[in-house]
Every structure is written in C-alpha cells, then in structure tokens.
Chains A and B, each alone.
Chain A
Amino acid sequence: MIELIVTSLILIALGSALSFKSPKSVFVISLIALLIMLLLPEYRSYVALVIAIGVLNLFSMTLMKNQIKGVDYALTALIAIATVYVVFTNDLAMILLMFVITSIPTYVLIMTSEGKANVEVAIKYITFMVLATVLFLAGAMLLVYANSVNAGYLYVLGFVMLILGLGMEVGCAPMHEWVPDVFDTADPIPVSIVASIAKIVPFVVAYKILIMTTNPLTTNIVLFVAFVAAVSMFIGNIGALTSTNPARILAYSTIANMGYILATLVALINLNWIYLAFAGALLQLMANAFGKVGFFVSIKDGGASTYLTYALAFSFIGMPPLIGFWGKLFILLSLVKVGYIWLALILVINSAMSVPYYIRLARILAKPTIPSVVNAIVLSAVALTFITIVPPNWFIDLAKAIIGGV
C-alpha cells in the first residue's frame, strides 16, 4: 500500500521537474499518479470519491494560465494524495503531517493568477493559515499529552485550541474573515481547490485526534463545538442572503457548510454513533466539494448550463436524492441520536434560510447549454452529486471502517 503512495509521490516529484519543459506532461503524470491511487485495496469508495474530486480539480486547473504552470498540477495532485493517505494511517505524526501537506500547497496556489501574482490575497490567507496550523498543532499536542497524563484542564485547553485551529483553517465563523475576501479576490480555480478538497483532511485529522483523546470532560466541552457550529451556520447563511456576487455567496455558503460539518463533532459525547456523525461529515464534505468545484469553475467562465447550476444548487439545499441531502440527513441523524435536538433545529432553520441564495446563485450563473470544457467539468461534478440516487448505506460502512480503527 505504502508502495503505491510512494510511487505516486515520486511520479509527482519527477513531473514537477518537467514543468519547465512541458506543463502538459505534468498534467498527464499527475493524472496517472492520482489514478494509481485507485489501486489501493482499502476504503475504495472513499479513495474513488477523493480521486474524483482531485481529477476534477486537475481538469479545472487546465482552464487557467499561471506563473507556475505545471507545478500547479503537481500541487493539486499532492493535496489529493495526502487526502487519500490520511485515512490509512492512525499515527499521530503522520496525520499531522498530512494536515500540513494539504495546507501548504494551497498557499502557493492561491497566489497564482493569470496576471500578476496575487500577493495581497496570499498574505491574508497565509496569515490565517499559519495561525490555524499553529493552534491546531498545539491543540493536538496538548490533547495527546493531557490524555497521557490525564490532566483535565489541559485537555479542555487543547480541545478548544484544536477546534479554533480547525475552524480557522476551514473558515468557521467567527474566524471566517479571510474567507469572503480570499474567495472573492483570488482566481476562482485555485479557490475551487481551497474550497473543495482542502477541507477534507482537517476534519478527518480532527476526528481522529479527538476520538483518540476522548475523556469524560468531552460531554461538556462539545458545547463549545456546538456554539461555534451554530454561529457559523447563522453567519454563513445570513451573510449570503444579501450577497449578489457569486464568489461571495459561495464564500458564505462555505462558512455555513463548515458549520454543519463542525456540528457533527458533538457526537463525540457518544462514541457509539460517531461513525454516523463521521459519515455525515464526510458526505457533506464531498457534497460541498462537488458543489464548490462546479460553481467556481462556472464562475471562471461566467456561468454554466442552467440545468447544471440548478442541480448543484439543489444539492446544496439538500434535495433528495442528491448527495447534499444525504450529507445533511446523516448529520441530522447523528445530532438527533446524541440528543442535540436544538442544534438539529438550528440546522433545519439554516437549511431553509439557505434556499433563496442558492437559487439566486443558480440563476446568476445560469447560461444556455453549449458544449464546452467548463460545462463538461460542471457536468461531471453534477453527475457525482447523483451518485447517491441509490441510498448510500455503503457510505456508513465506509465511515465505520475508517473511524473504527482509531
């Protein structure tokens, strides 16, 4: 297994070296590196979904000329590989490394643009990311240490720091300030990567660490998670309601979605149901990723086919049988199950509040249907949101398998 990963990594490294000669070959090599991942024997559906997102990201990268053409493919592939690998290991150092690996390439990517390097955005982004990474890593260390010496106070501190770091990394309110600015001013294509695949690893890592270190205090401290999640949902959805700029709408939508996903962490109080919460989080992350890739790619081209934009919007709203529905369903299931009914109700209200702006977004980005690369990419994203047309109970098994070994 590790051989495959290493092979992919070597391929990417070699590919990047080729970037000066022919960016196109880097694309092909990165693609191959990603597809090799499919040979992994375990967690096949997870790998397939992540690779699907990665491949979509790769293809969308082709839409953009930039200063580091060639290397960008390699970086994108690297994030995807890290995202795949994170579920295979339970080693603390390794998962924290994966956390960093998915974070760093985005610093570079976010800077790229078709004209001059986008330094101002990058500064905002990097400032927050560095803060987030520090908080997250410090929190993780504290947690593990507190767990080993059984120090309650340290545990709480570590927990809070980890959540704060996580929230800052993915863009939860009230540490969300970077999100609207970065999403709006950076080029849509790198943003599509930041908003999609890069969100998965932080959550997986957080889950793994938090599950590893649960102790009796968890019951109380998850209230903090619930609080941040609720604030995030409200800020995201209310903020999006009056925005008219598609990128900003998506930024707030991201904030809201991160809130939904963060909310699942309250399931820590009852580890019997944590697999369900994790399934919800993961599925919602996938739904978010497909939707964000689709929308940001449409923004790049000023819009996509009417049918596609509406389909994406409905997935976000949570219409069955689209993937967004199942994500929210599992999240609600876990919240209800562990007794956080009020949080579930807040989620319901937010889900209803989000309807207008998703529809508006779909309308703004709607264009007549014509054959184009953008439409092809968006179509693939839409097709992926339809994978749950058969109820995804396999996803629960998957989540159980990933989380079970921790």
Chain B
Amino acid sequence: MNLVVYAILIPLLVTFIAPFFRPRTAAIVSFVAFIIPFFVTLWALLTNQSFELPLMNLGKPIGEFYLFADSISNAFGATICLVSAMVALYSLPYMKHRFEEMRDEIDDVTREFRKYFLLFNLYAVSMLWLVYSGNLILLYIFLEISLLASFLLIYKYGYGNRQWVALLYFVWTHIAGVLTLIGFLMIAFENSTLALKSITTVSFLAWLLIFLGMIVKLPGLGPHIWLPWAHAEAPTPVSALLSPLTVGLAGYVLLRIYLVSPWFINEFRNIIIAYGILTSIYAGFSVFKQTDYKKLLAYSTVSQMGYMLIALCLGSYGLLGVVIQYISHAFGKSILFMTAGGIIALYHGLRDVNKMGGLHEYIPTISNAALIGFMNLSGILAVGMFGEFFILKGIVDVYGLDLKLILAVVFVFIISGWYSFYTLRRIFYGTPKGMESPRVSRLLDTPLYVIGIISIAFIFPPLATLFLKSLKLCILGGVCP
C-alpha cells in the first residue's frame, strides 16, 4: 500500500485517540498527526506520485469506492495538513481563552477540550480524506462530515448568536451539499458509476446542479451572504480551517468534474468568468466597509474565491491557477484568521477594527505575521504570485488580448492588494491607542510564521520547481489538452 495512505490514516486514528489525552498533549498529538502526512503528501506532490487503492465495489449505479491521489490531490492534501497542523497547535492557547470566556456555560475545561479536539480533528481529517476520495459519493460523505463537525464547533463554541449562526451555516451548506448530491446522482445514472476514473459524460443538468451547489459553497455573489456570518462567529481556529480550506474545496470538486467533462465550463465560459469577476470585485469592495476584523477577512475570502471561478474558465493553465490559488489563499487566510484570533485572545475579544490602530506597537509579531498573510492574498512574494501568473496567462491563452477582460481581471488583483494594505494600516499602523502590551503565547504566533515561511519558500526552488513540475505533468500532461 502507498505511503500516502498510511500517512492520511494517522490523523484519522488520532481523531479518536487525541480526546483521551490532556489538552496540551492532545494539541501536540494532533499537530504531529497532521504534520507527518504533510511531509508525506508534500513529498508525493514534489515527486509526482500517484496511486489508486480500491476499497469496495458497490455495484451500479454507485460504482467502486477507492482512494486515489495525483498531484492535484496531493497539493490540496498537503495544504490541508499543514494548515490543520498549525491550527491544532494554535487552538491550545486560543481555546483556553475561549473556555475562560465561556466559564458560565462550561463546567470542566479539560472535558470541553476533549470534545473540541475530537470535533476539530474530525473536521480536518474529513477534508483531508475528501481530496483523496475516488468516488463522488465518498467525496460527498466527507463533505457532509466536515460540515457536521464544523457546524458543531460553531454551535458549541462560536460567538454572538452562535446557535443561530451555526444553523444558518448548516442550512446554506446543506442546500449546497444536497444540490451537488443530486448532480452526482444524475452522473451516476448516466454513467452507471460514480467512480471518478470511470465517469465519461456529465449532462447539462447534472453539471448545472453541481455547479450551483458549489457556487453556494464556494461562495459566489448572492449566496455569499452566509459566509461572513459563519466565518466571523466561528471560534477562530475553526474560522482558520473553514475559510482557508473548506470553502475552497468547492473549487476542488469543480476542478475534478471539469477534468472529467469540461464542456459545461467551456460552453458557459463567458458567463462564469463574468460572474467570478463580479463576485471578486463586489466582495473586494465590501471589505473596505467592514468593521469586524473577522467579517472583513470573510469578505476577502469571497473575493479570493472569485479568483477560483475565474481561473476555472481559463483552460489548462487556469486549472493550475485554481490549485495554486487554493494553496495561496489557504496559507494567507489561515495566517490572517489566526492573527484575528490572536487579537481576540490578547485583548479580550477585540474585533472592532475601529478600536484598533497602531497595534503593531503592542503585538509586533502578530502584526508582522498579518503582513505575510496579506502578502499571500495580494500575491506579493508568495506562492499566490504563480496563481495570478497562470490566471493571467490563461486569459491570453483563451481570450487573447481582450482589453475589457484584461482590465477587469487586473482590477480584481489590484483590489486585493488595496484592501490588504488598507486593512493593515487600519489595524496595525497609525497612532497607537494606549493599550497595554500583552504577553503573547508563542503558540499564538509561531505557527503563523511557519505557514508564512513555507508560503514564501514555495516560490523558490526546490519547492517551486518540483511542485509546478508535478502539477504540469498532472494537469497539462494527459487528462485535458
């Protein structure tokens, strides 16, 4: 059996073991459980490994259940592992603070930590397995498990009117999930199977339903309204998985379907790309008006997900862009949500941007991490650069020098840079507001830098050389010309 399979089994096992440890040990165990598969999947990505592992055969119309990996899966998998590992460590000080805040509702912190780590690991591991599932039903099951776990985390540990927000999140994404499911089922009947390798055709209605479902999940303009609520009110470590990893998986699903049957996207390319651009610009402008740091980041997520839609329409180089954009956004946004969490933990729930300003004076390490995060979002000296590069190349490949489109997409990128640095200034620079300098737990800032350094290392050899080579072999070398 392949090394990758063993590696992704570790977090699955640890999910059920970690709750038996004390919080500190549990955090470390979870961290180790995700960092090992990170290295393994990264290795697999860099060396362009691929495998297939049959699990069982369900007969028509569901077909074979199997795990598989190619460089796309590995790229997503490595990202998920890294972010989950770092957030697991980060959870420890953050959730300690959160439980402290919730002391009226909680009687035993250690017990709550047990529940928390169970749900957290379940959440992360279901996303990890999702990208390795070879059957659409299996994929859907992991999608729903991740939804369930994240729902419970918000429901139990969120902020504000958390039960309402959790329900809202659940309802929206459930609609998304079930719409997609119907799409999958139609595929099942058309092909008598849902095994990715055996699907040959995807009809219009199936594609449409999957696309609509994933648009809700991604989210596109319109359905995006659930996201600021969910991402802002979730406990921050959950936000730091939800926004960077979960929503982007919608892009992963679309990518997989695209690789099987690209006709839908190709046919409606103009509409989809216009919608993606509109989403991105709309959400980009929304960022400026936000006063809640986490909500602000949530809108920026919407904007970044617009990139994914745009990239999806741009041929094979666009697909490269989708993968890289996912990685880049995951790194950047996880760092940023963790900085938001850092501020919340250190300043007793401070989230109002208007009350911030000059925070660099007091928490320079978090401020610098935020800089790296925003660099990732705006594609400055971080892996996002390649994402933008391939998107732009895709435009020329597909549309030639179409001035309107060029201006629109370029403006999308500009807007990201603008709101990034505007927000940095609002929060971290300017005249300090006379707060006290707190003692920052090392777990609140070091994980951020680890992600940050890796995100920068991804533009230099050997990482850049190898991972782009593998992706090229995977995406450009075969499935779709």
The answer on direct contact between A and B (beta carbons under 8 Å) is: yes
Q: Which of B175-183, B363-371, B426-434 faces chain A? A: B175-183
Shortest B418–chain A CB gap in Å is 36
With the chains together, A348 CA to B205 CA distance in Å? Answer: 16
Is the beta-carbon distance between A341 and B148 smaller than 8 angstroms?
no
Cβ 8 A contact of B182, one of A320, A336, A363 = A336
Determine whether the beta carbon of A333 is less than 8 Å from that of B167: no
Q: Which residues of B contact A332 (CB under 8 A)?
A: 178, 181-182, 185
Q: How many residues in A have their beta carbons less than 8 Å from beta carbons of B?
A: 28
B residues 160-194 in Cβ contact with A at 8 Å: 163, 166-167, 170-172, 174-175, 178-179, 181-182, 185-186, 188-189
Are A355 and B171 interface neighbours, CB within 8 A?
yes
In the complex, which residues of chain B have a beta carbon less than 8 angstroms from the beta carbon of A159?
A: none
Q: Is B61 an interface residue (CB 8 A)?
A: yes
Which residues 51-87 of A sit at the B interface, judged by CB distance below 8 A? none
Give B127-143 interface residues, CB cut-off 8 Å to A. 137, 140-141
B144 touches A325 (CB 8 A): yes
State A163–B140 Cα separation when bound (angstroms).
34
Provided the pairs A314-B148, A319-B148 are in contact, do residues A336 and B174 lie with their beta carbons within 8 angstroms? no
- A157-171 CB mask vs B (1 if < 8 Å, else 0) is 000000000000000
**Is B106 in the interface zone, CB < 8 Å from A?**
no
B171 and A344 contacting across the interface, CB-CB below 8 Å: no
Check B480 for interface membership: any CB of A closer than 8 A: no
Cβ contacts under 8 Å, B56 to chain A: 391
Q: Is A152 interfacial (CB 8 A cutoff)?
A: no
Chain B residues within 8 Å of A317, by CB = 174
Indicate whether A319 sits within 8 Å of B144 (C-beta atoms), given known contacts A352-B178, A355-B174, A393-B62: yes
Which secondary structure dominates where chain A touches chain B?
helix
Q: Determine how close the nearest CB of chain B comes to the CB of A67; give it in whole angstroms.
A: 42
Q: How far is the CA of A341 from the CA of B147 in the complex (A)?
A: 25
Q: List 13 A-B contacts (CB under 8 A).
A: A310-B152, A314-B148, A336-B182, A336-B185, A336-B189, A337-B189, A341-B205, A355-B170, A359-B155, A391-B56, A391-B65, A393-B58, A393-B59
- B: number of interface residues (CB 8 Å): 32
Does the CB pair A333–B171 fall under 8 Å? no
Residues facing B in A297-349 (CB within 8 A) are 310, 314, 317-321, 325, 329, 332-333, 336-337, 341, 344-345, 348-349
Q: Within 8 Å of chain B (Cβ to Cβ): is A112?
A: no
Q: Are A348 and B189 in contact (CB under 8 A)?
A: no
B145 interface contact, C-beta 8 A: yes
19 new A-B contacts at CB < 8 Å, known A349-B175, A393-B58? A310-B152, A319-B147, A320-B144, A321-B141, A325-B141, A332-B185, A336-B182, A337-B185, A348-B175, A348-B179, A351-B178, A352-B172, A352-B175, A352-B178, A355-B174, A356-B167, A356-B171, A391-B58, A393-B59
List the A residue with the shortest CB-CB distance to B183. A336
Q: How far is the CB of B111 from chain A (nearest CB, A)?
A: 11
- Determine if A333 and B179 form an interchain contact, defined as CB atoms under 8 angstroms apart: no
- A108 to B182: give the CA distance in the assembly, Å: 43
4 shortest interchain CB distances as A-B pairs: A320-B141, A348-B178, A352-B175, A393-B58
